Structure 1
């Protein structure tokens, strides 16, 4: 009797259907359901006031923040790359939206909202197209130090930005100096009851996160302690809403999120007055697409690495793109992966995108029925939870490791981190990328070249400064450990000449080319010059182990046609022939130029 097919196997047989349904649904483990539901509930409740605030920051009616957390979130959950990234309205897209639409329409107007949706549509199309063209490799040029520092710097700025909620001080800005200046000039607005609520909440969240071993595990079984820890933030939220409602906290000057307008977003086609508006928005849309991709990918890849999951940059591009395209038609504005909401999602135990679907249900329920119920939620508690969650994204360990093992990456980390704090996310990211590329160029311009000798009893060759090896008076063997190009050819030439000066008895120079994958025109000219100089002083240049693709480039050039020495398949062959005095004078008339791999 044939075995009964599982639903996943049946879907796999229908390839077109399998392509439409994401893998996480086909392979969903129901044991993850409780964790996903809890995470979705926590994120859904806590990002409501945050979403309202970001909409206002973008110059839109507050309810647009909720709209941006429905259709785009559903689309990303279906096609996105990350299992736990929570997308929606974020500070950087809100700020850039307000900046790009300034002067094009009146803030809060219908036309302004249409242009915001148009901007989301344009940015989404650029992201989607980049994904289709498989441009996710761009992330490969964002070094580990830059991405970790960008996330860490953004986390610090978000942490500081939440002070306005936990202290009632009107802190504003987009850089650390800006926030500090604002804080010092607005100290008179400090509100003690708000600070008490925020401080107590922050302490509770930090204890739950970093001291759960004695807070819960000391008196509960491990399985129960885990769930108590995950449910604890939700319990704190419910208690705070109840206390706020019965204690009339709003009458005591404590800010609460208040009543939320009802009604779901409508499906509309973004309208614009003229093509000039589209042309005006296009550069901003392109820049936002790049920043959204880098920031979202940095967060998603960081958590993927922490959780041992795969991350597909091209899939991430398409997921972000389709989410913004869908948002463009559903009264949204540009969205991205949120640092704080993703941190809360992960901290609350999310396992799959199902948590985001639960969050969407909370948003829908909020618009339809729950607006009055969550209205008493104090902003101070929201800020405290974001502050506690965001701390985990400050990646000090990567910087410590870089200091020990890769000083250039440590420099890139420091430049990016300080740039983000001092000049904001956009400029900080650009500074980090520039420093990273400058370091790469400098490193490539200083290639490692070693003088090598033979390990006794073997055919292996090692650096004379690291190993006890056999050397030869008439023979200088050097290993080139980089490809040769215009940026390092002069440095290579200088190192070779210096080595020749240190070994005046050597009349035969053998360059081991096993690590050379390319030789450009400038490097070819350098090798030709080196060969001619050696020939003029009765010395000869030889090559060993030239790779086939490299030989294809230089075979018909003077690098080979004018070579004073010969080519060797191996360095051992060079040793055998160049140190054999009986044959030494007879090897040059029969140069075998095709002896290469």
Structure 2
């Protein structure tokens, strides 16, 4: 019988007071440092800045209670923000209130899909998103995010959901730039880039290593305070600089998302599905990485459930879609977080910001928020992965470029689909071109290796062929062609031995190919043999003509095959 304590998360039931000080400090640090980031991501999503703080309250609490990671910091992130803006682009003129409700509806749809996937135990699906596709998608999204923020640092009213759209509208409104806005945004961007990428030149000559690290982290917050103060003192809003205005005080309210007609819901469904996939892949990547580093278990299905419920709860408490953030999780861990209690403390900081600082943040220029996002997003352009893929795996590099170019040319959703299609096409191409090696015996070892890579002993009367792939409809003809080519290269060989150690499955088409191959060999007075067939494979083909009508024999090992056929050849 379950007790009341059994319903509590494991981390609460086993919480120790020695974790309390570090959890509290980590929660406060994360809460303070991500305030400007949260405000900026709301703007990136096309929402009033306060929604960034809303998104960092209820969803964070739900994930802390139900999520799979002890240290992952969930909240508004760049990818979900830009995908929200892209998905709701056609609704942007419906008014800010209705747009915000649509953003909450999208979050609830994403959460529902994630929750259903978790209940269906679909956590394994993340294995099918290649590194090339995910890196290309994120890199392309980063470029779009960067370009989209130009409107805030220049006052040029650009819009669109792809690079062509942004550049076209920018060209049409180039004369609308505002000098003071450009100075504020450009200078802020320059300072933030120097702080992020040249801190070893700025802070470390002046401070110790640990102090320099904190100076780098606190600088965006200090810059926000300075810019807000200057805006208030110098009256930037009266000089044409856009500011965020008074942030509504109070906590996010329970609000039923706006439900348009059913057709609009269906239109949003593909976007919600792709967002759910990206939220899961990005969040689980962060959570599983830190679980491995901390020697903690990671449950992909629980991660799906936790993220799903967090987004569903956010959908009815004025949030847009959230995910696990790598930067905020890194800060959380570096600050000493040990359990999700740190996230509860972070929520308290956000609540304090809503209650106490709404009026104080009113003069904050949008130019600073845009510059903050632009500076932080540069690091997501993953040139290193493209370079590595180009050197080691050109097919994965093709997937990267397909996703990257697709995102820039056609938008986030279409770009991701293009990347996935190229990735799956690459997988099919690889599987349809299996490696079939002619092998020989390493002298006096009983081991068999590729004749083109090693000095091995071959046999005039026998061809040993190692099939390095499972056999299915996509590669059966290719395998047949390899075998025929080998027979032409060694016309005197009468014994053909297929080494099946790497074959885990043989589908119906491949079975028919093997039956046909056996018949062809018999017509030429040659025999087909198998060695090293795995048990599960033999269970499938044991009662088929592949075995029952086989012209040769099935051997437990290649050594047995070579010994038996060599002895038989000598006797004849």
Whether TM exceeds 0.5 here: the answer is yes
The partner residue of 2:464 within 477, 480, 490 is: 477
Provide the C-alpha distance between the structure 1 equivalents of 2:236 and 2:102, rounded to a whole number of angstroms: 38
Gaps of 5+ in 2: none
Q: Which residue pairs with 2:73 in the alignment?
A: 84
The partner residue of 1:255 within 236, 242, 248 is: 242
Q: Which residue pairs with 1:280 in the alignment?
A: 263
Q: How far is 1:398 from its partner?
A: 1.1
Deviations 1:120-175 (A, max 9, x none): 44442232121111112221111111111111111111111111111221121111
Does the 8 Å contact 2:440/2:449 carry over to 1? Answer: yes
Q: Which residue pairs with 1:335 in the alignment?
A: 321
Provide the C-alpha distance between the structure 2 equivalents of 1:299 and 1:25, rounded to a whole number of angstroms: 30
Deviations 1:300-349 (A, max 9, x none): 3454577665764323321221122213333x2541328xx764675796
Provide the C-alpha distance between the structure 1 equivalents of 2:52 and 2:406, rounded to a whole number of angstroms: 29
Q: Which residue pairs with 1:379 in the alignment?
A: 366
Label 1:236 to 1:270 Cα distance change in 2 as closer, same or farther (>3 A). Answer: closer
Provide the C-alpha distance between the structure 1 equivalents of 2:571 and 2:394, rounded to a whole number of angstroms: 46
Provide the C-alpha distance between the structure 1 equivalents of 2:97 and 2:379, rounded to a whole number of angstroms: 39
Q: Which residue pairs with 1:186 in the alignment?
A: 173
Gaps of 5+ in 1: 1-11, 586-597
The partner residue of 2:228 within 238, 241, 244 is: 241
Q: Secondary structure at the match of 1:580?
A: helix
The partner residue of 1:96 within 81, 87, 112 is: 87
Q: How far is 1:441 from its partner?
A: 0.7
Q: Which residue pairs with 2:191 in the alignment?
A: 204
Q: Which residue pairs with 1:322 in the alignment?
A: 309
Q: Secondary structure at the match of 1:287?
A: helix
Q: How far is 1:192 from its partner?
A: 2.1
Q: Secondary structure at the match of 1:533?
A: helix
Label 1:24 to 1:486 Cα distance change in 2 as closer, same or farther (>3 A). Answer: farther
Q: Which stretch of the first structure deviates more once superposed, 72-81 or 407-416?
A: 72-81
Q: How far is 1:289 from its partner?
A: 3.6
Q: Which residue pairs with 2:357 in the alignment?
A: 370
Does the 8 Å contact 2:45/2:83 carry over to 1? Answer: no
Provide the C-alpha distance between the structure 2 equivalents of 1:95 and 1:71, rounded to a whole number of angstroms: 24
Label 1:24 to 1:314 Cα distance change in 2 as closer, same or farther (>3 A). Answer: farther
Q: Secondary structure at the match of 1:444?
A: helix
Q: Does 1:406 align with 2:389?
A: no
Provide the C-alpha distance between the structure 2 equivalents of 1:438 and 1:26, rounded to a whole number of angstroms: 53
Label 1:95 to 1:213 Cα distance change in 2 as closer, same or farther (>3 A). Answer: closer
Q: Secondary structure at the match of 1:256?
A: coil
Q: Which stretch of the first structure deviates more once superposed, 359-368 or 446-455?
A: 359-368
Does the 8 Å contact 1:40/1:350 carry over to 2? Answer: no
Provide the C-alpha distance between the structure 2 equivalents of 1:242 and 1:405, rounded to a whole number of angstroms: 51
Does the 8 Å contact 1:344/1:389 carry over to 2? Answer: no
Q: Which residue pairs with 2:274 in the alignment?
A: 291
Q: Which residue pairs with 1:490 in the alignment?
A: 477
Provide the C-alpha distance between the structure 2 equivalents of 1:493 and 1:215, rounded to a whole number of angstroms: 65
Q: How far is 1:396 from its partner?
A: 1.2
Label 1:191 to 1:428 Cα distance change in 2 as closer, same or farther (>3 A). Answer: same
Q: Does 1:552 align with 2:539?
A: yes
Deviations 1:557-590 (A, max 9, x none): 11111111111111111111111257655xxxxx
Q: Does 1:213 align with 2:200?
A: yes
Provide the C-alpha distance between the structure 1 equivalents of 2:17 and 2:38, rounded to a whole number of angstroms: 29
Label 1:499 to 1:396 Cα distance change in 2 as closer, same or farther (>3 A). Answer: same
Label 1:78 to 1:258 Cα distance change in 2 as closer, same or farther (>3 A). Answer: same
The partner residue of 1:158 within 145, 149, 153 is: 145
Does the 8 Å contact 2:279/2:323 carry over to 1? Answer: yes
Does the 8 Å contact 1:157/1:421 carry over to 2? Answer: yes
Q: Which residue pairs with 1:536 in the alignment?
A: 523
Q: Which residue pairs with 2:556 in the alignment?
A: 569
Label 1:527 to 1:469 Cα distance change in 2 as closer, same or farther (>3 A). Answer: same
Deviations 1:168-207 (A, max 9, x none): 2112111111111122221111122222222222222222
Does the 8 Å contact 2:86/2:412 carry over to 1? Answer: no
Provide the C-alpha distance between the structure 1 equivalents of 2:335 and 2:393, rounded to a whole number of angstroms: 34
Q: Which residue pairs with 1:54 in the alignment?
A: 45
| TM-score (norm: length of structure 1) | 0.85
Deviations 1:509-561 (A, max 9, x none): 10000111111111111111111111111111110011111111111111111
Q: How far is 1:284 from its partner?
A: 4.5
Q: Which residue pairs with 1:589 in the alignment?
A: none
Does the 8 Å contact 1:45/1:362 carry over to 2? Answer: no
Provide the C-alpha distance between the structure 1 equivalents of 2:462 and 2:424, rounded to a whole number of angstroms: 38
Label 1:304 to 1:432 Cα distance change in 2 as closer, same or farther (>3 A). Answer: same
